[in-house]
Amino acid sequence: MFWSVLFGFIAIWYDVILASESAYDIRGQIAISNDPGWQTRTLISANFGEYHGYAQQNGSFVIPNVKPGSYIVEVLNPNYIIAPVRVEISSKASGRIRARKVDYVQPNEVMLVKYPLTFRVADRTNFFEKRETWHITDVFSSPMVPMLLLPVFFMLVLPKIKDMQDPETKKELEDASKMMSNPQMPDMSDMLTSLLGGTKKPKKIASSKIRR
Amino acid sequence: MFKRTVLLVLVLIAVVQSIYEDQIGLYDWHQRYVGAVEHRIADSRAIVVITKKNILAALHPKTGAIMWRRKFNEEDTVTVDPVICGEEVVTYHSTNRYRHWDILTGMLTLDTPHHEEDGLLFYASLSYEKMIRVTRNNVYWGKNDNIGSSPIDISPSMKLAGFMRSGSKVEGFLFDPSTAQGVSIKYDANHDTVQVAEAALPSTTQGIKLVTSEDSIAGLQGDSVFYKTIGEDSFLEVKLSDIGITWSVDSISAAGKSAYIVSGKQMSAVIAVMDGAMRAVKAISKDVIGQVVGSDHIALVSRADHTVSLVQLSNGFEAHSYSLGELAEGRGGVLSMTTLTASHPCSLMTTVRVPGLFLTWKDQSVTVVGSNETCGWIREESLSSVVSATLLDLPASSFIPVSLHRHTNPIKLWTERITMQLQDLQKFINLYFGTALIDVSPEMERDSFNLNKLIFAISTCGKVHVLHSGTARIIWSRYLDNIAPLSNGQYQVHMIRSASHYPLPALVAVLGTSLDSKKAVLTVLNPLDGSLQYRQEFESKLAQIQLTAVEDNEFAKVMLILTDDNEVHTYPPRLHKLVEHLPLYFTLVYPDQMELKGFFLKGTRVEETWSAHLRGDKILDVKSKATNDAVYSQGRVLGDRSVLHKYINPNVMAVAVESGTGDKVLVDVQLYDMISGTQLYHARHKQYSGPVHLLVVENWLLYHIWCSKLRRYEVVVVEFFLPSAPNTTEFSSLFPRTPSFSIQQAYIATSPLSAVAVTTTLKSITNRAVLFAESGGRIALVPKALLDPRRPTIPTAEDRQEQLVPYTPQLALAPMSYVTYNKTLQDITGMVTGVTGLESTSLLFAYGTDLYFARVTPAKTFDMLNEDFDYYLIGLVLLGLCFATIVTQALAENKALNKKWK
């Protein structure tokens, strides 16, 4: 009992002494795979440049001499956009450090993360748009292609299957094909003739059509 | 629902700007700098520098390229020269820490606090693996961590005068100037012994300033030099007249390895400690700096005529001498010199093999020179402190006018025109037939879409650089002597006359402050060749500049310069009568009095028309509209086909003021009409504080602000509209007809900003986008549609028809919206945007420690064919169509004929 009280007193005294002066280190570890030499391109910043830390070969970093308060710790690397972490250094609990997720929308919601901090990044952030390339599989994946192929299938294949079985349908089809070659239907070549060959200077008209 | 909106936002951003990976560096460039060099140490592997920008960097000794650079935060400065120890560079920081960096890669290998509270006296590297650190209480030696230490006790009144080094010995000398008492701390690396010895100077030498020169220390008192070499116990005195220096000298400077330069008003002299005695080596002209190279030579660089001479120390014989020539022109003189190791390729090619020289100049540039100017490199470090920049059009023709004389005689004018056209024709022929008879530089010619510009950039030190925006090459640079930025830390740069008025030169006016008199200075330059056209110093400080649309009879725009004695000057001079009939107004901000004042031009003076007191403690930012910005549409069409009319006032100015501290801090953002002084808008943000970045464009105001209560940055957008259609398109501040109303919305931003700008296009048809320069070093392009105060929380059918993006509290930025893609720009301080001949494309020039230039397309390049556009295919299709027409025509004719035969 006595010891705990004494200890408590010592703790309070310690806080009072150190609260204004003391500074602490924020520590952490970064792991970036498949980017050799990333350490030299990486800067760890607390509160957007108020304090800096630098990564060592093994990925560990220290932001030294940080006064108690709340800090956004970011890992800045040109190739990666890495989510920051909020680090809070308590001025009362003799520099106890806790880390939590950054939530700007609901700043009061606390979701603690591990401290010492760990940043693990695998894939490079894609800053670029993908250039469209043509590939044969694109044709099949397009919804337009089956939509086109299906009618063709019905037109060409289905009649063949049918007329093998039934003479009546064969007759029907013949009628249908007669209908198709309806004399009243305008002939394609006739149309072209009337369009292009009707006047004396067909060439000019033709070229103007193309231009359009 | 939330996910869907996020997706929609992301899709919308993706439409804006993004480049393909193979376009890296095609339309953009990035130049990296380190800043003005403060501390340096050279090695055969790297020249390690610490700069005014608080950057530690290693420069390649052969090329000058940055091998690596590391930036320290503001309170973590390096105050002493770094030390190279083996494979590492060691820096000691003001936060009482040591950091060891790999010299080749810049990797941090050790980061350790200094053990003692009272800090370091000095540190030095000895052999490959040994470092020594000396504090008042201990001497430490060893490499990474201390291998050994020895306690000493040095009284706090002793100040470090310097330390000497020779072979395995290091000696620090501490001196109390008030009592002339001194103490030496001697360390011998061979035996790891530490010895502290008294070494007093005569009591007459109180206040003497001592300089150390590698293995000796010396001070000048009257006409005597007191000196001591390493290992010696006491100081020796020598009268300068005894060694042949008969003229009076007043200062002494170290020149490396026992050599010193004593300089007087007329002449200087090199003196050196040889065989334990101080001797005079050579009398030299004043304003010369020197550095010992090799074992027996001293390199001397004259600041007056920029000659380098190599003098033998033992006999004063000049072994080699050459002029720096063009290299030294317009650099304001040499500041400091360091020698590089003898293995450097720029070693002077003389009978003695001595190293090249690393020079820093007054204009912040650094050079390495060898025996001639072709061997070496230049780094224009003044480009790391650009404070004002502007984009200028290139001339339509690269023809460089031969005579700038203007004729009044019509016949002469006619002949000049004809000769000019003939020369143009000749140039055209030369271009197409490959015989370049006259000097043709297509680089200085405008391209068909006006995409390439001249970047006119001026640095804090007064150095003007003009860069070509396409090639990033420096066209010319000029050191404007005796000029400093204005009170806001910037210069005013205005285009007075464009390059299209041949044979009159193009004119750019630069306004700064005179270093001597602190008065306003106007310098007018030709942006094409850098020639000085005009310079004027005013009698008082600059208050404001206004560029009018009025031109004089030589097509120069009349610029009004208001000085703080309420006097208005014009450039071109004395043209008040051209502008006196115009209603011209000035608005001045008085940050000390927290006041805004409006003035009206009357004759050659101004009269106060209004004033407004700003409540608060500090003005955070002031912004007004860009004068040349076009407004395409007067209104916005809503979903129900009605029109929301924009309140477009060209005379608005936004002011952000902070007041209170702690929990009571608040920021007032106000919008004033600069003509009438009417307050148009006022928003008070409680528990918000600076920094604030303001932007005023068309009918909207945008600001980026820190919310101290919720500890986050926010972007606030305010748009101003009119309740009904205005009667006329002409706006008048003096007779406002209808009051405007505003719509505002705030968004959460994830990063603080160092600058904010908006894209500008030729006719402003293209949707605007806001450029946010994040403090981390990226520049994001955010379409205005995302920063729209009318974004609905729950979109109605009409909103959807209007294509309003649903509201999301956080401004989510996709990686593709960064125009700097995977580049990080060091400390952006400003951005300039410019128009091109293409409506879709805007230009961006960002400056800070680095320079960055890019084309930005807020709505993609809708007026340009894709670069992968298949010209062959479309040509082939066209040809095929023509062919098919001819064939079918023939066939049709045949058929028609056949039909007739039937």
Interface of B with A in 375-404 (CB under 8 A): none
Three state DSSP letters for chain A: CHHHHHHHHHHHHHHHHHHCCCCEEEEEEEEECCCCCHHHHCEEEECCCCEEEEEECCCEEEEEEECCEEEEEEEEECCEECCCEEEEECCCCCCCEEEEECCCCCCCCCCEECCCEEEEECCCCCCCECCCCCCHHHHHHCCHHHHHHHHHHHHHHHHHHHHCCCHHHHHHHHHHHHHHCCCCCCCHHHHHHHHHHCCCCHHHHHHHHHHC
Cα B421 to chain centroid distance, Å, stands at 40
Neighbouring-strand partners of residue B684: B668
- Please state which of the ranges B30-44, B389-403, B614-628 shows the lowest mean pLDDT: B389-403
Please check the confidence at residue B284 and state whether its pLDDT lies above 60: yes
Q: Kindly report the nearest CA distance between residue B705 and chain A, in angstroms.
A: 14
Q: Kindly report the nearest CA distance between residue A188 and chain B, in angstroms.
A: 10
Please state the rounded mean pLDDT for residues B612-633: 89
CA distances B614 to B672, B696, B717, Å, are 11, 19, 22
- Please state which of the ranges A192-201, B64-73, B271-280, B669-678 shows the lowest mean pLDDT: A192-201
* Residue B14, pLDDT score: 41
A131 touching chain B per CB within 8 A: yes
Could you report the per-residue pLDDT of B587-608, keeping only the tens digit for each? 999 999 999 999 999 888 899 9
Place of tokens 């060898």: B370
Which value does ipTM take for this structure? 0.83
Query: Closest to A197 (Cβ–Cβ): which among B14, B68, B896?
Result: B896
Nearest CA in chain A to B712: A104
Could you report the per-residue pLDDT of B832-869, keeping only the tens digit for each? 999 999 999 999 999 999 999 999 998 888 888 877 78
* Residue A9, pLDDT score: 44
B15 touching chain A per CB within 8 A: no
* Residue A36, pLDDT score: 86
Please check the confidence at residue A6 and state whether its pLDDT lies above 60: no
- Under a CB-based contact definition with an 8 Å cutoff, are residues B573 and B612 in contact? no
Residues B711, A39: C-beta atoms closer than 8 Å = no
Taking the C-alpha atoms of residue B94 and residue B73, their distance in angstroms, rounded to an integer, is 11
Which of A81, A127, A196 to probe by mutation at the B interface, max B CB count within 10 Å? A127
Regarding beta strands B236-239 and B353-354, do their DSSP bridges make them parallel or antiparallel, or are they unpaired?
A: unpaired
Return the SS3 of B836.
coil
* Residue B296, pLDDT score: 80
Top-confidence range, A137-146, B182-191, B875-884? B875-884
Taking the C-alpha atoms of residue B416 and residue B619, their distance in angstroms, rounded to an integer, is 55
* Residue B739, pLDDT score: 77
Fill in the amino acid letter for A111. Answer: M
Binning chain B into helix, strand and coil, the percentages to the nearest 5 are 10, 45, 45
Phi and psi based region of residue B601 (left: phi greater than 0; alpha: psi -120 to 50; beta: remaining): beta
Q: Kindly report the nearest CA distance between residue B752 and chain A, in angstroms.
A: 7
A126 touching chain B per CB within 8 A: yes
Taking the C-alpha atoms of residue B865 and residue B858, their distance in angstroms, rounded to an integer, is 16
Please check the confidence at residue B785 and state whether its pLDDT lies above 50: yes
Please check the confidence at residue B555 and state whether its pLDDT lies above 70: yes
Return the SS3 of B396.
coil
Residues B748, A125: C-beta atoms closer than 8 Å = no
Nearest CA in chain B to A208: B882
B259-264 β-sheet, strand order:
B249-254, B259-264, B267-274, B277-285
Taking the C-alpha atoms of residue B758 and residue B733, their distance in angstroms, rounded to an integer, is 25
Please check the confidence at residue B656 and state whether its pLDDT lies above 90: yes
The larger pLDDT score, comparing residue B762 to residue B726, is at B762
Fill in the amino acid letter for B498. Answer: S
Comparing CA positions, the residue from A70, A66, A90 lying closest to residue A15 is A90
Q: What mean pLDDT is reported for chain A?
A: 76
Residues A105, B106: C-beta atoms closer than 8 Å = no
Please state the rounded mean pLDDT for residues A176-184: 62
Q: Is the peptide bond before B572 cis (omega within 30 degrees of 0)?
A: yes
Interface of B with A in 701-740 (CB under 8 A): 710-712
Token duo for residue B284:
């030299």
Please state the rounded mean pLDDT for residues A66-71: 91
**B8: confidence class by pLDDT, cuts 50, 70, 90:** very low
Which of chain A's residues have a Cβ under 8 Å away from the Cβ of B816? 126-129
Q: What are phi and psi of B437, to 5 degrees?
A: -80, -35
> At B56, which helix (H) or strand (E)?
strand B55-59
B861-867: Cβ within 8 A, 24+ apart:
B863/B838, B863/B839, B864/B838, B864/B840
Residues B816, A128: C-beta atoms closer than 8 Å = yes
- Please state which of the ranges A117-131, B165-179, B198-212, B367-381 shows the lowest mean pLDDT: B367-381
Token duo for residue B455:
């970047």
Q: How many CA atoms lie within 13 A of B66 on its CB side?
A: 19
Taking the C-alpha atoms of residue B320 and residue B348, their distance in angstroms, rounded to an integer, is 9
Radius of gyration of chain A (CA): 39
Nearest CA in chain B to A52: B73
Could you report the per-residue pLDDT of B449-484, keeping only the tens digit for each? 889 999 999 999 999 999 999 999 999 999 988 899
Measured at the CA of B300, the angle between CA B294 and CA B305, to 5 degrees, comes to 150
Residues B750, A104: C-beta atoms closer than 8 Å = yes
Residues B888, A192: C-beta atoms closer than 8 Å = yes
* Residue A1, pLDDT score: 42
Interface of A with B in 143-182 (CB under 8 A): none
Return the SS3 of B768.
coil
Nearest CA in chain A to B100: A56
Q: Which residues of B307-331 are buried (b: 16+ CB within 10 A; e: fewer)?
A: bbbbbbbeebeeebebebeebbebb
Please state the rounded mean pLDDT for residues B747-772: 93
A199 touching chain B per CB within 8 A: no
Please state the rounded mean pLDDT for residues B561-580: 89
DSSP state at residue B490:
-
Size of interface A-B (CB pairs under 8 A): 125
Among residues of chain B, what percentage have pLDDT more than 70? 91
Could you report the per-residue pLDDT of B295-311, keeping only the tens digit for each? 788 888 888 888 888 88
B284 burial via Cβ count (<10 Å: 0-12, 13-18, 19+): buried
Could you report the per-residue pLDDT of A9-39, keeping only the tens digit for each? 444 444 444 444 688 899 999 998 888 889 9
* Residue B729, pLDDT score: 66
Please check the confidence at residue B361 and state whether its pLDDT lies above 60: yes
Which of chain A's residues have a Cβ under 8 Å away from the Cβ of B813? none
* Residue A195, pLDDT score: 62
Could you report the per-residue pLDDT of B137-166, keeping only the tens digit for each? 888 887 666 578 888 888 888 888 888 888
* Residue A184, pLDDT score: 58
Q: Which residues of B444-473 are buried (b: 16+ CB within 10 A; e: fewer)?
A: bebeeebbbbbbbbbbbbbbbbbbbbeeee
Task: Enumerate residues 6+ apart whose C-beta is below 8 A from B863.
Answer: B838, B839, B840
**A173: confidence class by pLDDT, cuts 50, 70, 90:** low
A38 touching chain B per CB within 8 A: no
**B197: confidence class by pLDDT, cuts 50, 70, 90:** confident
Q: What mean pLDDT is reported for chain B?
A: 86
Please state the rounded mean pLDDT for residues B685-702: 93
Cα B90 to chain centroid distance, Å, stands at 28
Taking the C-alpha atoms of residue B718 and residue B706, their distance in angstroms, rounded to an integer, is 17
Please check the confidence at residue B751 and state whether its pLDDT lies above 80: yes
**A8: confidence class by pLDDT, cuts 50, 70, 90:** very low
Taking the C-alpha atoms of residue B755 and residue B846, their distance in angstroms, rounded to an integer, is 9
Neighbouring-strand partners of residue B334: B361
Which of A21, A39, A54, A102 to probe by mutation at the B interface, max B CB count within 10 Å? A54
Please state the rounded mean pLDDT for residues B346-375: 69
DSSP state at residue B78:
B
Taking the C-alpha atoms of residue B467 and residue B30, their distance in angstroms, rounded to an integer, is 13
The larger pLDDT score, comparing residue B888 to residue B125, is at B888
Please check the confidence at residue B787 and state whether its pLDDT lies above 90: yes
Which of A108, A128, A189 to probe by mutation at the B interface, max B CB count within 10 Å? A128
Residues B111, A64: C-beta atoms closer than 8 Å = yes
Residues B14, A129: C-beta atoms closer than 8 Å = yes
Taking the C-alpha atoms of residue B37 and residue B381, their distance in angstroms, rounded to an integer, is 8
Return the SS3 of B824.
coil
Please state the rounded mean pLDDT for residues A115-134: 85
Please state the rounded mean pLDDT for residues B17-27: 82
Which of chain B's residues have a Cβ under 8 Å away from the Cβ of A196? 885, 888-889, 892
Taking the C-alpha atoms of residue B746 and residue B754, their distance in angstroms, rounded to an integer, is 19
Please check the confidence at residue B441 and state whether its pLDDT lies above 60: no
- Under a CB-based contact definition with an 8 Å cutoff, are residues B204 and B173 in contact? no
Beta strands, E only, B625-752 = 635-637, 643-646, 652-659, 666-673, 679-686, 688-697, 700-707, 712-722, 741-749
Comparing CA positions, the residue from B653, B681, B673, B679 lying closest to residue B734 is B673
* Residue B309, pLDDT score: 86
Q: Kindly report the nearest CA distance between residue B291 and chain A, in angstroms.
A: 34
Taking the C-alpha atoms of residue B670 and residue B693, their distance in angstroms, rounded to an integer, is 13
